[in-house]
Amino acid sequence: MLLPAIHCKQSFLQANPMPILFYTLQLVYSRSDEIGVVLFGTKETCNELAKELGGYKHVVVARDIKVVDEGTTHALQNLPRGTSPGDFLDAIVVGLDMMIRKFGNAKGKQRLCLITDAQHPLRDPPQGTKEDQVNTIADQMKKHEIKMDCIVFRESGVCHNAVMDENDQLLYHFRERSVAKVVQVDSPTSLLGALRTRNVLPVTVFRGDLEVSSNFKIKVWAYKKTSEEKFPTLKKYSDKAPASDKFASHEVKVDYEYKSVLEPNMVVPPDQRIKGYLYGPQVVPISSAEWEAVKFKPEKGVKLLGFADRSSILRYSISFNLLSGIRQCSFGTY
């Protein structure tokens, strides 16, 4: 479950919405992941804590925690320009409260994502100091096993002042409590580089011989060093059922039927179908057994061709489809 808290005072978010969309896509691990969106630094105030306890002004819950859909994209593409100073501690508390209300003590991967410039003064808490407030928040995050990613956006050339230094120290205090990771960026492009990608379990793509010479072979296992992150695929949506029908799945199922040219009304069953390939103006039928007989089946293997100086290898040529090989592991019996 992911809950980004976004500071609307930053102009680059309105001018460059794509980094935020990529940010969300990078952090969505599966179709069942849920996302909520909290905006702070807004003119309005709309959150449960403000209604129940007061305070927590200029913090708006733009989207409740739910599975990703079109509403998530709409909420991130139409970020309002902030008109008030943003208190990121209030935004963190509101987001934390949303998670605890929805999930309680349920186990699962829960994460807060804070995007802010941390340039505005924070309000003083009713009791204690701001450091005490950070400690209280960190204790609750540890109790519910919630982690946080803090991305501080500051354009190059911005002069630091006492307020910014104090805010940085508060964010670093979250990191010292082992509940957060803090990254500073200075452009939308560097924001993409600060994204946390999901961990992928390594799987061998090859197990066999590394041929050094005709007389020297080593048993190795080869793994992919990088994995391509693909965009989520969209499914077809049926609007035949009314939107108010809670039991409608709105799924579209496609079935294919194959019919004979000689008898157009007769459906050909799967066991009587055969693939055909165009050869000039004619269609040549080829059975699966014939296709397997003529299909090229190369032997898998890895062969050492030579060595090259590292400086002569361009970086982009090793950034994709790069394999890492290790010697075959052997496990003893006990």
Tell whether 150 and 249 lie within a shared domain: no
pLDDT in tens, 64-76: 888 777 777 777 7
Q: Among 193, 216, 250, where does a domain finish?
A: 193
- Using a 10 angstrom Cβ sphere, with 0-12 exposed, 13-18 middle and 19 or more buried, the burial of residue 57 is middle
Residue 173: name the closest of 144, 136, 145, 143 by CA.
136
Decide which of 226 and 149 is more confident.
Answer: 149
Residues 38 and 69 reside in one and the same domain = yes
Element at 327 (helix H, strand E): strand 323-327
- Asked whether the beta carbons of 207 and 325 are under 8 A apart, the reply is no
With a cut of 50, say whether residue 15 has pLDDT above it: no
For residue 6, the SS3 value is strand
Write down which residue in 193, 215, 243 finishes a domain: 193
Average pLDDT, integer, range 187-212: 73
Assign 14 a pLDDT band (cuts: 50, 70, 90): very low
Do 126 and 67 belong together in one domain? Answer: yes
Q: Is the pLDDT of residue 151 over 80?
A: yes
318 DSSP 8-state letter = G
Per-position DSSP letters for 297-317, written without gaps between them: -PPP-EE------GGGS-GGG
> Across the strands, what pairs with 227?
none
Predicted structure pTM score: 0.61
Looking at the structure, do residues 182 and 284 belong to the same domain, yes or no?
no
Residue 291 DSSP label: H
Instruction: Domain of residue 256: give its range.
Output: 201-334
pLDDT digits 0-9 by tens, 230-267: 666 677 888 888 878 878 888 888 888 888 878 888 89
Is pLDDT at 180 greater than 80 in this prediction?
yes
User: Rounded to the nearest 5°, which phi and psi values hold at 39?
Assistant: -110, 140
Give the pLDDT of residue 18.
46
Quote the crossing angle between the two packed helices 70-77 and 18-27, to the nearest 10°.
140
Q: Which of 193, 221, 249 is the last residue of a domain?
A: 193
For the chain, how many structural domains are there in total? 2
Are 79 and 184 part of one and the same domain? yes
Task: Name 250's Cβ contacts closer than 8 Å, sequence gap at least 6.
Answer: 237, 238, 239, 241
